[in-house]
Amino acid sequence: MKDTDFIFEAFGGTGAFARVIGKPIEHASVIRVRDRIPVAYWQALVDAAEEQGIEGITYEKLVALHAGKARKREAAE
C-alpha cells in the first residue's frame, strides 16, 4: 500500500469509500484530496477490507502510511 489512492481504488473509488466509512461522497473526496485518512475510519476500512477480501489494508499498513506522511510534513517545515 503506497498511498491513500490505493485504498480508495481498492474499494472501487470515492463513492464506495464513502459508503464504507458511512459519510457523504463529498466528505470522502476531501479525505482523498488531503491524502490523509483520519484514524476514526480505520476500523471501518480494515473490517470492510476483510469482509470484501481486499488484501493489504491492515492497521499496521495504515499506521505506516500515516507515520510516513507525518514524517514528510515535519521535514517540509
pTM given for the model? 0.86
Check residue 71 and give its pLDDT: 64
Q: What is the pLDDT of residues 30-74, one digit of tens each?
A: 999 999 999 999 999 999 999 999 999 999 999 999 888 656 655
Cα 12 to Cα 1, 16, 35, 51, 77: the distances in Å are 15, 6, 17, 14, 34
Check residue 45 and give its pLDDT: 98
Evaluate whether the domain defined by 4-76 bears CATH number 3.30.70: no
C-alpha cell at 29: 473526496
Average pLDDT over residues 11-17: 98
